[in-house]
């Protein structure tokens, strides 16, 4: 692709709805350096402000040289450049995963402080292909094999990936034509990392036609299939599911009549919506849950409990998952509930009702919820003394509000599209 074709590809992804200013995440590597140059050529003639951020993970030598390359290009383009530093690696767990999570957290905060709604990322067709092959090796299903989203909402920031149809080789050629220097991360040659090993394997598959663009196309096809399944799950949920005080109620008869994949997706969505997780349960865990449901057994998964009551299957927060969670009145409890009330005593805390609080509510059945669901709902405590159970209507001025609700539960089924 020549420069004009690359610029046109960027314009097709970004226009006509660009805001007055955008952010670009740039590491100094070839992909993000090409992105920065191309975005500047699209945005600056239109008067759109571009701000640049880099994240220094502090994990290896040579980073300062890479950051200097970014700063030099920003100076040439007359763009502001900000560096965020991460110092959170303790040496345990998945290094690449921890670094990725930290990178997004730091960029989130930077964007918020800079008043940015959109941040651009430099993922390419090669990244799509590598991710597809890694997940294929793990036996992933439709969701796992789906392409990265061109746009992803995270808090108040929309992350946009305008290079997903462009290969790494095409971007390197652009950089060479325009005399832009970039850095190659030495970790990209470290085959201890699964992605690096897969990248090398893909070079052996190219003569067979399994190129980055071909595999990225497969990922896009799988994404379209996923969107169709999401839509069918949404339609099924409207017939089968309801939300009551943060718990999900499923009509057992209608639920059992659903195709296995649709019922699986509905369960995954209910669990994620309740526990607030970023990633779905592993397929083996959901398969075990489906088997328990088929046998009419209560089961748990990822901090949620699933139990039968009458003609309904209920999905709600498991008490053990919130037993030790405490927060002040007014703060978000379990990332879902906000308690407000007439007292502003700093000694008051929000915690789960548990058996002690529920024992003082012989009328708990009036809420039409399984007992287990109520055990994990919030109450107001002063030490070991119960002050209020705000989920009940007669809570003496106390109220409990759960984030989202009936409509939000259904909307979330389609939000990742």
Name the binding residues for ATP: 27-32
Give the span between the Cα atoms of 389 and 128, in whole angstroms: 49
Token readout for 361 is 């509510």
Burial class for 278, CB neighbours closer than 10 Å (0-12, 13-18, 19+): exposed
Question: Which residue in this structure is represented by tokens 């369960």?
Answer: 267
Residue 376 near residue 337 (C-beta atoms within 8 A): no
Token readout for 54 is 């880099």
Who contacts 313 (Cβ-Cβ below 8 Å, separation ≥6)?
A: 249, 250, 252, 255, 293, 306, 307
List the Cα angle 97/99/103 in 5-degree steps.
Answer: 120
Residue 412 near residue 349 (C-beta atoms within 8 A): no
8-state DSSP, 188 = G
Token readout for 191 is 């085959």
Instruction: Say whether the peptide bond before residue 71 is cis (omega within 30 degrees of 0).
Output: no
User: In 198-298, where do the E strands start and end?
Assistant: 241-244, 247-251
Who contacts 278 (Cβ-Cβ below 8 Å, separation ≥6)?
A: none
| Neighbouring C-beta atoms of residue 185, cutoff 10 Å | 16
Binding-site positions? 27-32
**Coil vs helix vs strand at 83:** strand
Helix (H) or strand (E) holding 239: helix 212-240
Give the span between the Cα atoms of 242 and 226, in whole angstroms: 23
């Amino acid at each position: 692709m020549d420069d004009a074709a690359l610029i046109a590809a960027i314009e097709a992804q970004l226009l006509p709805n660009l805001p007055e200013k955008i952010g670009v995440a740039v590491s100094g590597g070839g992909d993000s350096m090409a992105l920065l140059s191309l975005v500047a050529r699209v945005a600056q003639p239109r008067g759109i402000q571009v701000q640049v951020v880099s994240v220094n993970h502090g994990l290896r030598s040579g980073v300062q040289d890479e950051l200097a390359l970014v700063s030099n290009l920003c100076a040439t383009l007359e763009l502001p450049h900000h560096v965020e530093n991460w110092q959170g690696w303790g040496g345990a767990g998945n290094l690449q995963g921890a670094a990725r999570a930290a990178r997004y957290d730091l960029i989130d905060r930077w964007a918020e402080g800079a008043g940015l709604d959109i941040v651009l990322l430099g993922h390419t067709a090669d990244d799509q292909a590598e991710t597809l092959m890694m997940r294929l090796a793990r036996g992933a299903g439709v969701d796992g094999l789906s392409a990265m989203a061109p746009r992803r909402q995270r808090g108040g920031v929309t992350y946009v990936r305008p290079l997903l149809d462009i290969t790494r080789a095409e971007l390197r050629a652009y950089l060479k034509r325009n005399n832009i220097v970039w850095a190659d991360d030495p970790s990209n040659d470290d085959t201890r990392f699964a992605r690096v090993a897969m990248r090398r394997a893909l070079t052996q598959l190219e003569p067979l036609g399994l190129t980055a663009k071909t595999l990225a196309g497969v990922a896009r096809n799988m994404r379209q299939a996923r969107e169709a399944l999401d839509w069918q799950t949404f339609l099924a949920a409207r017939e089968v599911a309801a939300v009551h005080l943060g718990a999900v109620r499923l009509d057992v008869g209608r639920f059992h009549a659903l195709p296995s994949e649709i019922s699986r997706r509905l369960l995954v969505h209910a669990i994620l919506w309740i526990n607030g997780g970023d990633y779905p349960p592993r397929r083996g865990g959901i398969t075990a849950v489906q088997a328990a449901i088929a046998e009419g057994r209560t089961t748990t998964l990822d901090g949620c409990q699933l139990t039968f009551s009458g003609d309904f299957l209920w999905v709600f927060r498991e008490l053990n998952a919130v037993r030790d969670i405490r927060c002040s009145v007014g703060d978000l409890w379990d990332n879902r509930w906000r308690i407000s009330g007439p007292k502003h005593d700093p000694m008051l805390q929000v915690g789960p009702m548990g058996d002690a609080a529920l024992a003082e509510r012989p009328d708990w059945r009036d809420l039409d919820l399984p007992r287990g669901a109520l055990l994990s709902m919030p109450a107001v405590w002063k030490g070991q003394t119960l002050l209020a159970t705000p989920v009940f209507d007669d809570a003496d001025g106390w109220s409990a509000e759960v984030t989202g609700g009936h409509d939000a539960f259904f909307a979330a089924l389609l939000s990742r599209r």
